[in-house]
Amino acid sequence: MNPEPTVPAAPAGADTLSALEQVWGEIASSEFRGEVRVVVPRDQLFSLLKVLKEKLGFDLLVDITCVDYLHFRDARDRFGLVYLLANTENNRRITVRAFLNDPNPSAPSAVPLWKGANWLEREVWDMFGIRFEGHPDLRRILLPEEFTAFPLRKDYPLQGRGERHNFPVLRRAEG
């Protein structure tokens, strides 16, 4: 484990940020252990991702995930969407975050930019109930369609709410 990676991370991070600021303008950013993170309002999320992909070469969408900040210390927003991007040419990374709130948390879908976003967004919808507008096929992916809750939200108990016991049982004769 090396908190300061051997690839010169600190200047690289600063480079990424200044390059982004040249095309995008002022942006809220932070750095922790060599990771550059930027925060963007929900409305500008798609255009920022587009700029990052098309102008700055962040062509690989590593992951889309979400954090529910319900019980987080000093958190003001309910959900934080996290996009992890990487540049396959110079191996730089950037984390884009956008905060969403109840009711009806939703974000623009990134599928027009990356086809790989399809299942990742379906998983976020499945687990957190965040609707991705413009997604071609927003269905649950890991949980059955009958499921009504969003289990990775912090107000969902670890033990579940007994859904499992109420699943319809198919008997051999009926099936």
Partner 1 sequence: MPLSRISQPGDRVSQPGDLAHDEAQEYLWTMNFGPQHPATHTTLRLVLKLDGERVVEAMPDIGYLHSGFEKLGEHLDYNQYVTITDRMNYISPMSNNVAWHLAVEKLIGIEVPRRCQYLRVIVAELSRISDHLLCVGAMGLDTGAFTHFLYAFNPREDLYDIFEALCGARFTNSYTRVGGLMYDASPEAIEMIRRFLDGFPRVLGDLRRMLDRNRIFIDRTKGIGLLSREEAINRSCSGPVARASGVTRDLRKDEPYLSYDDFDFQVCCATAGDCFARYLVRIAEMEESAKIVRQAIENLPSGPVNVGPGDRAILPEKRQVFSTIEGLISHFELVMSNRGFEVPVEEVYMATEAPNGELGFYIAGDGSQRAYRARCRPPSFIHFALFPYLIRGHNLSDVVAVLGSLNIIAAELDR
Amino acid residing at 148 = T
Closest CA to 49 of 101, 136, 105, 108: 108
Task: Single out the segment in contact with partner 1 by CB under 8 A; choices: 18-26, 43-51, 98-106, 115-123.
Answer: 115-123
Which residue type is seen at 37?
Answer: R
Instruction: Tell me how far apart the alpha carbons of residues 23 and 19 are, in angstroms, rounded to a whole number.
Output: 7
Crossing angle of helices 9-24 and 45-54, in 10° steps, is 120
In whole angstroms, how close is the CB of 23 to partner 1 at the nearest point? 21
Question: Number of residues in contact with partner 1, rule: CB under 8 A?
Answer: 48
Minimum Å gap between C-beta 31 and partner 1 is: 11
Backbone angles phi, psi at 174, to 5 degrees: -75, -40
Among 95, 109, 125, 132, binds partner 1 (CB under 8 A): 95
**Structure token digits, residue 28:** 């809220």
Q: Which residues pair with 96 in a beta bridge?
A: 38, 83
Give the residue with the Cβ less far from partner 1, 3 or 162.
Answer: 3
User: For the chain, how many residues are written?
Assistant: 175
Binding mask 1-40 for partner 1 (x = CB under 8 A): xxx-xxx------------------------xx-x-x---
Give residues in contact with partner 1 (CB under 8 A).
1-3, 5-7, 32-33, 35, 37, 59-63, 65, 67-68, 72-73, 82, 84, 88, 91, 93, 95, 114-120, 123, 127, 136-137, 140-145, 151-152, 156, 158, 170
